[in-house]
């Protein structure tokens, strides 16, 4: 059974075929992968080919023709899910003209949600690779661009700020680290912007020394 894309709304010209072009193998694989990811979040590797077929709206045979076997499909779906580019696109879409609080809140919201989703699926599928081992300079550049109007008034340079934002988002989403204590994005934003004692009057040192009387 071949899947076809929806036909155009306009009636076809007389004498022309009304059949739409079948999906390419790549498009069919992408469609099936998009249907599998939500199932992984619920069933892990125990999901069945029947569940996949129903979610994707295809016959089970279509799945095996596209991927060969279920394990290959699951591996492809996990790799697609771990791709950081969709999150980066969300971060790039943040308006740098917003106030600082709003921008940090959006950054933390996007990242905390992303890490939470990753940890939930990884716990179910038992994938061996840690999520996003390196986001590197691309992530720093995105944060620097979003916060560009504010950087000269902040206590840290962009690379340090990017690390702080990623650190608090990661820790708040990681069950083994947060010990069941949940922080909302708003709470994390306040922690990032003000800590527990308000804004520092002086640039904090990366190598603090004992205060002198």
Structure tokens at 144: 């620097």
The pLDDT of residue 25: 81
1 pLDDT more than 90: no
Instruction: Calculate what percentage of the chain has a pLDDT beyond 90.
Output: 60
Pick from 184, 152, 154: nearest CA to 168? 184
Question: Is the whole-model pTM more than 0.85?
Answer: no
Query: Across-strand partners of 22?
Result: 4
Structure tokens at 9: 């709304």
Structure tokens at 139: 């992530």
Pick from 78, 82, 70: nearest CA to 114? 82
137 pLDDT more than 50: yes
Class of domain 25-81 as given by CATH: mainly alpha
Considering the chain, what is the average pLDDT of its residues? 82
Q: How confident is the model at residue 170 (pLDDT cuts 50, 70, 90)?
A: very high
135 pLDDT more than 80: no
Q: What is the pLDDT of residues 15-25, one digit of tens each?
A: 444 454 677 88
| Radius of gyration over every alpha carbon of the chain, rounded to an integer in angstroms | 23
């Amino acid at each position: 059974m071949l899947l076809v894309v929806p036909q155009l709304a306009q009636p076809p010209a007389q004498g022309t075929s009304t059949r739409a072009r079948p999906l390419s193998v790549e498009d069919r694989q992408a469609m099936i992968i998009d249907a599998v990811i939500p199932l992984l979040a619920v069933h892990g590797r125990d999901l069945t080919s029947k569940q996949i077929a129903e979610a994707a709206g295809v016959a089970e045979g279509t799945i095996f023709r596209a991927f060969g076997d279920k394990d290959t499909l699951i591996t492809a779906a996990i790799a697609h899910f771990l791709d950081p580019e969709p999150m980066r696109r969300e971060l790039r879409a943040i308006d740098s003209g917003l106030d600082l609080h709003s921008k940090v809140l959006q950054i933390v919201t996007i990242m905390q949600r992303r890490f939470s989703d990753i940890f939930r699926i990884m716990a179910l599928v038992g994938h061996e690779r840690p999520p996003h081992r390196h986001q590197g300079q691309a992530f720093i550049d995105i944060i620097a661009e979003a916060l560009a109007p504010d950087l000269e008034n902040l206590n840290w340079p962009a690379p340090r700020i990017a690390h702080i934002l990623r650190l608090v988002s990661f820790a708040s989403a990681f069950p083994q680290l947060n010990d069941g204590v949940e922080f909302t994005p708003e709470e994390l934003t306040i922690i990032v912007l003000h800590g527990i004692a308000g804004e520092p009057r002086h640039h904090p040192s990366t190598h603090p020394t004992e205060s002198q009387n």
